[in-house]
Structure 1
């Protein structure tokens, strides 16, 4: 007879040993023709093993705990003492291995997501080893929106790997200074999975970010606009700037008219023949935001 299931919170039990977990899977695997599924599924663990060898982690390669092939990727546990070396240099080396493979391959490109986590997991050489919340969370991280968005928005010529680290790995290994990966190369993200009750803080690491990631805003960077031409006094002078009205950030200085900051509903009139605003909804935060007609300056002069 099978052993009865344990009942939580009825008595204290030994905590399972902490195991680190690495999971990877391929972008757009299901979109490949069926004839390519088996070869690509076989190639992924081979590429991971190549990277482990090149990173000097042959011990991890030969001592994988509860390994599993997920079809479009793999997952396995390992001794958490190796976590600093999996974070760096392994993830960086895996990106390089994928780049070389994709450059030489005549078949489909293999671009991977990777997640790294750590926590107590059963590892007693029995069926069911490795199954517990930390492993579930590793897969949730792998399927989370931020890491998928990186590969979707990045160039397939440049970005071959997007990795996501759990907050526990980031705090213990990266912030702890045990790995050569500097914290400044990690990006904090809210890891959520569509249709799943999962939300955790996590950290993205993209070994080879492409320019499209910055242009698309996926990395959350605000690319500065080209500077405007300056007038002889050195202040910015745009085509919409004329004497009597100056705009600086969220402040307007109007020598003759109405200065507005905030949300406006309805019409605003300044009865001196110089300034008239017709609008339904306007939001003024900065710049020259107008809905309708705005006349400033001499009668008949439009801006």
Structure 2
């Protein structure tokens, strides 16, 4: 057998080179008539290259590492020295290029999700280059329901690209100040993929948010809120949901649970729906939807009815 499979943790070995990774994926590609699949698959790399050229990243355009088509998108690696420029100006320019295309062509509208990540992957001009956990995570981020929901909620007339950045990219390039993309343009989300064991902190960036996103508060909280799986619901008892917007305190979310209060007090805050049973010295209070601005103090056991669907 010509391929040697290494045994993890059996010995120390050189770390593969760090590579940044960019993946893009077209919205509603599978819903297109079959006759359009091949030409749209060819069009997406062309639009990406056009945006790289306009963003003055010709060197990157010509130096992609392990590029691959995904049918409805593309993925490639590149030297992370270019990473700050991919975040800005490339992503805004890609949005602009798509906007121009969508307004001038009679074909199907092309709207893209993009994910950006960085990490160690093989890159030795050999089969298997680019494969590894960082590449897997790049695709998971691209498929996360948070970035899909954002693009679906946005107006197709205004928002042509929604990007999701891994936390490593955000910390190294954005928080580090190496890119023109300001942290205030990014929104933290708990990136999750339905049916996959994947959950990571990530950051959404919308180059051209449509008015409905702005009026609702980017992002649409109910669409982007992480929904815990059934086997993790008990672990989420009393845990606050991650804040969807930097600087805004998170709201507490309760899922099919009861909170035991023996000594001290419990404060119930925020908008809540369902029935509330307070046992002990308190009585039962039934209501449809109530909002507490400062909280109620209770003793005994507090039972909160309704699941995640009732919280909305």
Q: TM-score, normalised by structure 2?
A: 0.72
For structure 2, the 5+ residue unaligned runs are 223-268, 270-274, 279-283, 294-312
Residue 201 of structure 2: aligned partner: 201
Q: CA deviation at 1:211?
A: 1.6
2:45 aligned with 1:45: yes
1:113-149 Cα shifts (integer Å, max 9, x gaps): 0000000010011101000000000000000011100
**1:183 corresponds to 2:170:** no
> Could you tell me which residue of structure 1 aligns to residue 212 of structure 2?
212
Give the aligned length: 237
CA distance in 1, matches of 2:220, 2:160: 20
Shift of 1:2: 1.9
Runs of 4+ in structure 1 off by over 3 angstroms are: 214-218, 262-265, 283-287
* Matching residue of 1:281: 286
Q: Which protein has the larger Cα radius of gyration, Structure 1 or Structure 2?
A: 1
1:125 lines up with 2:130 in the alignment:
no
Given that 2:65 and 2:76 are in contact with CA atoms closer than 8 Å, whether structure 1 keeps it comes out as yes
User: How far off is 1:263 after superposition?
Assistant: 4.9
For residues 146 and 195 of structure 1, what CA distance do their matches in structure 2 show? 14
Aligned to 2:111: 111
Q: How far apart are 1:285 and its partner, in Å?
A: 3.4
Partner secondary structure for residue 50 of structure 1: helix
Matches within 5 A, 1:58-69: 58-69=58-69
2:27 is aligned to 27
Report the CA distance shift for 1:116/1:284 in structure 2 as closer, same or farther (over 3 A): closer
Alignment check: 8 A CA contact 2:276 2:285 kept: no
Q: Describe the SS at the equivalent of 1:181.
A: coil
Q: Residue in 1 aligned with 2:298?
A: none
Are 2:150 and 2:220, in contact at CA under 8 Å, matched by a contact in 1? Answer: no
Task: Give the Å deviation of 1:4.
Answer: 2.4
**1:285 match: secondary structure:** strand
* Aligned counterparts of 1:206 and 1:284: Cα–Cα separation in 2: 33
- Does the CA-based 8 Å contact 2:163-2:205 persist in structure 1? yes
Deviation at 1:3, TM superposition (A): 2.2
SS at match of 1:134: helix
**Aligned-partner Cα distance in 2 for 1:78–1:118:** 9
Taking a change above 3 Å as real, the CA distance of residues 65 and 44 of structure 1, as seen in their structure-2 partners, is: same
